[in-house]
């Protein structure tokens, strides 16, 4: 019966493999819902998705090809995600909980696949369920054992490298509520009642750890030059540095100097100047949001100010809610069918031109009649004319464009 059981297990693995992209999204969304520590910024979120995908591929390959568990190693993406977890001072327990939740969800998928299959021998099915559970569990145990070592090693290394004491104090200021100004002053070693402007520097290209260090240090020196004084800095992770310039008045920063001299593999996002503890926190939050916009865009400018990307940053904060709203406002105009993108862009420019067919035609280098036709086409796709909801349509068109830049 063993050969029959292996065949059933392999068939289930192939069935799951065929749906891996959608199942990966399902699992990562569930992690974010169930585990607060999994609510990351965009860069770490992408690494979390890569880690999840790599583990699912590893389990499927184990089952489909009867690979001995002893040959299983921690997938590189999963190892790097564990290191980032340690660098962000997130708990090992949260990381391990995700693996047990993932094991449970994978078991559900396997049972669903067995129910859909035409397998009449109950003994074979029961043996396959036992085999699926045992092999998946052994994979998880093998990977978790390696992850614990990776996490603990990185935690010790990071404590000596990142200025652990300062990093811990800054995170307390960012995360503790309520927190008095005097307590924040003592933690930061600077008067929090003043003005602050935050920057997030990150390494955008593929480099090794030594290069990352050098590039971030070069970026920090450039921030010093642009402000005329050194910023307060802390490593957020091995490829990201947070920085603040603070003073009694709004910090001046030579943004053009940053644009001209920022190293090629380094990007910086700037929050707006703001006062007080809320300003210290809020300026960093803006810089983090600006970074997310850059990482979801086709172009990667060396310097991005939050005020220049505020609308896309705020619009894409809750992506799934935004997608549903855009679909309601635009209806079939939100379609990816050929030619609809041109209709959307024409309507966007028409509305931005104050409803002038002539101005829109000039900006788009089209004949006025073509603009007229596409605007009517847009109304047909929406199923209703442009009326009192013009502002909603303009915002929805911008959001539709932004959402299509996301991975």
pLDDT, tens only, 156-165:
777 666 577 7
User: Parallel, antiparallel, or unpaired: how do β-strands 303-305 and 266-270 relate?
Assistant: parallel
Last residue of a domain, one of 286, 308, 330: 308
Q: Number of structural domains, the chain?
A: 3
More confident: 121 or 226: 226
In a domain, 46, yes or no: yes
- pLDDT score, position 162: 54
Q: How far apart are the C-alpha atoms of 395 and 403, rounded to whole Å?
A: 12
Q: Do residue 386 and residue 241 come from a single domain?
A: no
Share of the chain above pLDDT 70, in %: 94
Q: Do residue 204 and residue 256 come from a single domain?
A: yes
- pLDDT score, position 69: 85
Highest average pLDDT, of 12-21, 39-48, 306-315, comes from 12-21
Kindly tell me if the per-residue pLDDT of 124 is higher than 90. Answer: no
Task: Report the pLDDT averaged over residues 352-379.
Answer: 91
- Computed over every residue of the chain, the mean pLDDT equals 88
Would you put residue 69 in left (φ > 0), alpha (ψ -120 to 50) or beta?
alpha
Q: Do residue 25 and residue 120 come from a single domain?
A: yes
In a domain, 181, yes or no: no
- pLDDT-based confidence at residue 207 (cuts at 50, 70, 90): low
Residue-wise pLDDT for 43-77, tens only, equals 788 889 999 999 999 999 999 998 888 888 999 99
Q: How far apart are the C-alpha atoms of 281 and 246, rounded to whole Å?
A: 12
- pLDDT score, position 245: 95
In a domain, 345, yes or no: yes
In a domain, 176, yes or no: no
- pLDDT score, position 210: 58
Please check whether residue 190 is in contact with residue 246, taking contact to mean a CB–CB distance below 8 angstroms: yes
- pLDDT score, position 407: 46
Kindly tell me if the per-residue pLDDT of 318 is higher than 90. Answer: no
Task: Report the pLDDT averaged over residues 388-405.
Answer: 81
Task: Report the pLDDT averaged over residues 13-37.
Answer: 92
Ranking 67-71, 211-215, 282-286 by mean pLDDT, the lowest is 211-215
Q: Do residue 9 and residue 150 come from a single domain?
A: yes
Q: Do residue 24 and residue 49 come from a single domain?
A: yes
In a domain, 354, yes or no: yes
- For residue 284, give its domain range: 195-308
- pLDDT score, position 13: 93
- pLDDT score, position 400: 83
Share of the chain above pLDDT 90, in %: 53
Q: Report which of 89, 77, 95, 88 is spatially closest to residue 41, judged by C-alpha positions.
A: 88
In a domain, 167, yes or no: no
In a domain, 170, yes or no: no
Q: Do residue 302 and residue 351 come from a single domain?
A: no
Q: How far apart are the C-alpha atoms of 233 and 71, rounded to whole Å?
A: 42
Would you put residue 308 in left (φ > 0), alpha (ψ -120 to 50) or beta?
alpha
**CATH label of the domain that carries residue 376:** 1.10.10.2840
Q: How far apart are the C-alpha atoms of 197 and 251, rounded to whole Å?
A: 7
More confident: 330 or 295: 330
Q: Do residue 286 and residue 324 come from a single domain?
A: no
Q: Do residue 291 and residue 384 come from a single domain?
A: no
In a domain, 368, yes or no: yes
Residue-wise pLDDT for 136-147, tens only, equals 999 999 999 999
**pTM for the structure as a whole:** 0.62
């Amino acid at each position: 019966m063993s050969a029959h059981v292996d065949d059933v297990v392999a068939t289930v693995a192939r069935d799951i493999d065929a749906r891996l992209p959608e199942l990966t999204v399902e699992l990562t969304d569930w992690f974010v819902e169930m585990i607060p520590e999994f609510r990351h910024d965009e860069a770490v979120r992408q690494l979390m998705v890569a880690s999840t995908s790599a583990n699912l591929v590893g389990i499927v390959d184990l089952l489909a090809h009867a690979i001995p568990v002893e040959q299983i190693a921690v997938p590189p993406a999963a190892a790097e995600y564990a290191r980032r977890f340690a660098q962000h001072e997130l708990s090992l327990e949260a990381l391990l909980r995700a693996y047990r939740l993932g094991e449970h969800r994978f078991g559900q998928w396997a049972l669903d696949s067995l129910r859909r299959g035409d397998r009449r021998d109950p003994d074979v099915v029961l043996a396959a369920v036992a085999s699926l559970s045992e092999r998946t569990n052994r994979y998880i145990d093998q990977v978790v054992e390696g992850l614990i070592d990776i996490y603990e090693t990185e935690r010790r290394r990071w404590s000596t490298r990142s200025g652990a004491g300062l990093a811990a104090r800054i995170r307390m200021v960012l995360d503790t509520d309520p927190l008095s100004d005097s307590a924040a002053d003592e933690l930061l070693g600077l008067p929090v009642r003043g003005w602050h402007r935050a920057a997030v520097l990150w390494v955008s290209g593929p480099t090794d750890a030594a290069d990352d260090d050098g590039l971030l240090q070069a970026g920090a020196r450039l921030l010093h030059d642009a402000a005329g004084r050194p910023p307060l800095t802390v490593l957020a992770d091995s490829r990201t540095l947070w920085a603040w310039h603070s003073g009694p008045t709004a910090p001046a920063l030579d943004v053009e100097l940053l644009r001209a001299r920022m190293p090629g593999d380094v990007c910086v996002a700037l929050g707006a100047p703001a006062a007080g503890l809320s300003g210290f926190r809020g300026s960093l939050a803006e810089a983090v949001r600006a970074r997310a916009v850059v990482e979801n865009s086709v172009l990667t400018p060396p310097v991005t100010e939050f005020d220049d990307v505020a609308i896309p940053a705020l619009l894409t904060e809750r992506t799934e809610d935004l997608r549903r709203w855009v679909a309601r406002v635009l209806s079939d105009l939100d379609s990816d069918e050929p030619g609809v993108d041109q209709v959307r862009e024409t309507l966007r420019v028409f509305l931005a031109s104050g409803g002038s067919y002539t101005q829109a035609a000039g900006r788009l280098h089209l004949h006025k009649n073509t603009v007229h036709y596409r605007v009517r086409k847009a109304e047909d796709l929406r199923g209703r004319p442009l009326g009192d909801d013009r502002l909603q349509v303009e915002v929805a068109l911008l959001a539709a464009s932004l959402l299509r830049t996301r991975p």
